[in-house]
Structure 1
């Protein structure tokens, strides 16, 4: 029996183990994916990520990059893959030193964050980015770097715009002629200031900062507090209130309305503004005084006056009104129709429109300048002013009064001034046209002068080799006639050399004039500079009379455009050889010697070309980079300008040191962005 029980327990335990194993396998099947599925999900994630993702190897070369990162760079993905950070320098503008320093730290095992970095891509678009750099490890060994880039350009612009807006808003509030304020009630029911901005606050005798947190009762005198307190309470009850108050000889118009409510709908904060209306009040007072003075003036002054009963059309004119128009008062019909008949037909529409606008209550005054017919038939200019002084309960005018002022003299003066101004404008236009013509002629002459200089230079430089070609052709013909065949080869070589000279002159001129070298993208490839320069010198045909000393010791490998830089070096070498071959050169103690050396300077590689020629005078040295300037007996003078352009395209430059009787040293330098890498190579 015991044995049977033991067998049953063994069966149950085995069944439970089988079930557990089956559950484990099912769970593993659910959680595990095939490598292909996992890789596909990774690729979909990377390809569609909103952030830029870049993978680099330990030599800072891009091994993979997603579409977003390529979009930020403005370069196709395939073009970027395989390029090092240094090779991106001609394509993208960014802080190369900082980037290389960060990569170096990450390759050493650090994980870093880049808060902000500004780059300008190949299309000229500027981005502000932040990024996270992590080392990539395989089997515990760092094999590269991952960079996740987030474009924060719009966010930074929005932040800057927000800062600018807040600053401008604060400055605007401080400069407002109005006082903007907010008040709330504390737990004791006191009305407390929480915001106060604007120059009007100075009227209280304290600054806007001090006003904040003050009780309403502390801000006003007892007299003024008793006036404003009910208005503030009305605002807290949910009403919009307006009132005017005089404080310290300043009149304010204040508007207050509810601003915030609590959950129960009770107003807990109010907002308002006070405007200084002192000038308006004074203007209104001045207007009232002016009206009184006008009434007195109309009685005693020699002005034409009219008093119009709008309902009946009857008008009372004074004698001066009639005299202005050459009439006696008894000759004037006392009706508004008389006035209408005398107004110039061209002025009538504007006069009636202005008058009706005032009678309808749209304006405070009626005022026009119009022509009225004189008894003699002439037209007199009149300044006509008036206003409705009585209206009925509906606002319709009952009576209007006004004055006439003869402004004919002023109008004539204005017309004369206008004619004079028009005349002056005509004179200015004539002078302007003459100036524009002179300027156009000057530009034409300058262009012709430049073209003439270029034509003369090219004609002179090509004429010499063409003369040599012509002489060679003549010599060949003469040799054939005389059957002196040994002279033919020498003449042919002479012709070929001078044809090449012509071709070089034209190529040099076209390269500079079209700016081809300045626009051409560099094809950068890593090169050991010493070996490259040594091979280049081997290709050059340097006369036996010149000793070429090579001191190539920099031992550095950097990216260069071999063909592009080759042209710069050949230009410099040929200039040195030409100088040493010049019969007029005063040789130094070393004789005819050209020394070519390389060295590492401060964050730059230098290629130096030193000759023992006669040197260049200081006044000439300032002009050697000017197009068409040359110290040679032949050549168009574009060699050194082209050299300068080539070096600048590489991010470097060209320097010349020379002393008369000592010789000349030309230094071509290239930037070195990774000092640690150079130390390792050296």
Structure 2
């Protein structure tokens, strides 16, 4: 072999060795990644085992609840025809444990008289794709009849076709028996009450005998039994002009033409004076054929009522001055009378409405069918009650709670209609505000719990990403991936902070703040890089406000971003701040006092009318990538500051948000900025104890502290923390700082643990940590004995800053 060939072969050998070394390094890196993945899989497996135990426990609780409530469940798959039922439903219907359940088998259990009802309800469900609750009877065993109440949910596929029916069956037999018993008791009580008022009579239609009670005789000046108990004796004492009317009404009731017998007539007293009587009665007993047997009623002396007609002018004056809106029409619905309150509210004069139909007030907010039902109710002699949205003369809408009743003459004929109503416009507005508040409260607990758990997970993710970045050069390809992951976690953190705004713990931590400065800083930052120009207008002596600057900055940012997105073609956003005094009863949602009024107005696309009432609802959004939390968060924050936010928008012409915040009497805003380099340098042998019930957070925190050259130990609960703490003090190697998780599931949390530590050493440096970043306890950490706090999720840099401040 020549010397040249030898060198060439040697060169190839060197290259091969270098390639092998590179491959060996890559294999080591891959092995490290596999080990990390294995650790993650173990953690996931532990979570899966815990979830499985929880599922088994939930199934046991569900079966117990079914048994206690005497209910059963059914799932009917319309595609396959399969029907799956719970064991409790088999017991409810009397099916055996292994008996296959089919629709035909279910129908065999339905009481014969109720089969058509069940079938119609199923047909209606298939047609409307919506189940309507229904009660019916079933034949169980040995001829036993039970009442069943069913409720169900219809499940449809993406094409709107019914896939299955999920139903719950509840045994309501006892309730039905109680209802029947109550009905019988009410019937007996009704008959007793009808016969207990003033003079009572009882007409036996078979014998034509009429029983008159002692009071009946006395009210006409007779002794008991002074005239015979016969119908003829009653008839001959009726005024000649009234006898045909009275007996005619009685005949109509006996013939079933009227529900009750009611007449007004004159009755001769023993001294020949005429007594005005209100006669009322009802048939209480019939033959099997329906023929009346017994007719019972009462006679009431209404002579005095006739005398009170003299007082009608006084009553008319009272009506005219009533704070209620009163209007009277004739039987055709033409206005004949309106009181002063009517003209005050509507803006019409009396002359402008008399002789007109009340439809001049119609706003268009109600359907024609609603008005038809209203008219049908009152013309049938019934009272209509409800809420109406009407229109004033100037076009402004107002709401009223109204009662419209027919007015009858002595012959029971309708002569007029009277409407009595109250202006409830402000009450309606207040109710809408209350509903918004209740809606926010309803998701409070859920949001807080989700955000807390999410922050715990993010803490572990932040920590390991930060540690991984420290071990890589900034030019390494993986470093950029980790940076992008960190940005995603930042967005997730902002989302959890918005969720925490809704939780009960999301109360503001207030301090006096210069609103004008905060506004300008926030708006200019959010509009940087855009073509939209902010235009600011502030009162020269604009009041400060006592606010949580972080939360209010979030409000300003939300409104600025909304305006920017609505003004995609550019233009201006107008922001103004002014001092505003709210007077007594001026605003239903604000107490009287001084406020700072802030207005955001854009020249964008505006908001559609159908969306205006929903824009503050949590999770409502019209944006493709929106979370639906921005304006809901804004509303929640402002309410927690005892303020108010309202919106006015014209589609295509822009939107205006107005905020009211209570003004502060203090004119000197506080400055809480802390300057300095937050680095831990030249501080050897720092020792920290970490308590957290999440293993991943404990391990991550120890890794982070180790990267800072800090000795760290961990504990999972308060009891373990106290044991380690005491051992360290006894061994003359105490901890410099203790970091406690505020809440520990199923164990002693930070609140209780810090009390015990401070009993041992009142000067101990204890930091509180929690995923409930907006909780009142966390924001008032000093009152619990903590020296500082660190919100989850936290980065290595944030952890270092807090430790520096405590050790400084």
- TM value normalised by structure 2: 0.22
Q: Give the helix-richer structure, 1 or 2.
A: 1
